[in-house]
Amino acid sequence: MEIFGVPLPAMLSQLLLGLVNGSFYAMLSLGLAVIFGLLNVINFSHGALYMMGAFLAWMGIEYLGLNYWAVLILAPLAVGAFGIVIEKTMLRHLYKLDHLYGLLLTFGITLLVEGVFRSFYGVSGQPFQVPEALAGATDLGFMVMPNYRAWVVVASLVVCLSTWFVIEKTKLGAYLRAGTENPKLVEAFGINVPLMVTLTYGFGVALAGFAGVLAAPIIQVQPLMGQNLIIVVFAVVVIGGMGSILGSILTGLGLGVIEGLTKVFYPEFSSTVVFLVMVVVLLLRPAGLFGKEK
């Protein structure tokens, strides 16, 4: 069976690949949206922290003998702890200043983190084995689906939708949103707003670390793995709307699928289709698809 001259298995495999890429876009852009939406900081170090999560997972398996499931939990926690140190020692002094200062600081952190890992491991990739429980593939009849890629999609959706639910539908999320808009009023109710802000930043960068661990068995772990991805992720955030939690999730998944379909019909255009969509959206709706006009 063919669709527009393309065999169905080939199209479905590209759609799955697009959905996997979209899962990474969604999770990374979600972390950026949480940090920007709640803390008003443009976190350019997100790609480097994504790489750090992958490297810490590789180091946990290689040097400490941990299994995949242990590093899937521990590596994001370590990245989140690193983010908390950054927020408490540097970022919190920039909240009342122009966005440019936060952008420059996080860009400097990116160069520092990438430089440290590059000095120890070079630019060649480190192999990362797929966990035994998720190895192999499942024959669905119309296509063969790698088990690990299916796990990536499911895990990303669960994390993204859980984060959206907590921020948008729970009392904790209401405190977070109120704390960014009127911190003095929230503190009057006995809530420690500075601690809440610190933990929010830690959680946002932990999402990047979690995405890095998920990506490690699919792409080789190397110090520059976050450089190209972060540019696309920023485009996803802009298209969805800066600070929009649901917008970042839906836009990330949707653009991943669009990118996958583009690879089927016009492969040369696949690396730029996201940026074309961004230009069109900004022309028609400058605040993004889900953003609010100010």
DSSP symbol at 40: -
End-to-end CA distance of the chain: give it in Å, rounded. 49
Q: Which helix (H) or strand (E) holds 144?
A: strand 144-146
CA nearest 274: which of 48, 36, 29? 29
Q: For the chain, give every domain's residue range.
A: 18-284
The pLDDT profile of the chain, 294 residues, written as one tens digit per residue, is 666 666 666 677 778 888 888 999 999 998 888 888 778 888 899 999 999 999 999 999 999 999 999 999 999 999 999 999 999 999 988 887 888 888 899 999 999 999 999 999 888 888 899 999 998 888 877 677 889 988 999 999 999 999 999 988 888 888 887 877 777 888 887 888 888 889 989 999 999 999 999 999 998 899 999 887 888 899 999 999 887 888 899 999 999 989 888 887 888 888 889 999 999 999 999 888 887 765
pTM for this prediction: 0.91
Helix (H, G, I), strand (E, B) or coil at 122: coil
Longest Cα pair distance anywhere in the chain, in angstroms?
65
Per DSSP, 92 falls in state G
3-state DSSP assignment of residue 109: helix
- Which CATH code of 1.10.760, 1.20.1070, 1.20.1740, 1.10.3470 fits the domain covering 18-284? 1.10.3470
Number of neighbouring beta carbons within 10 Å of residue 103: 16
CA nearest to 41, candidates 88, 89, 90, 94: 94
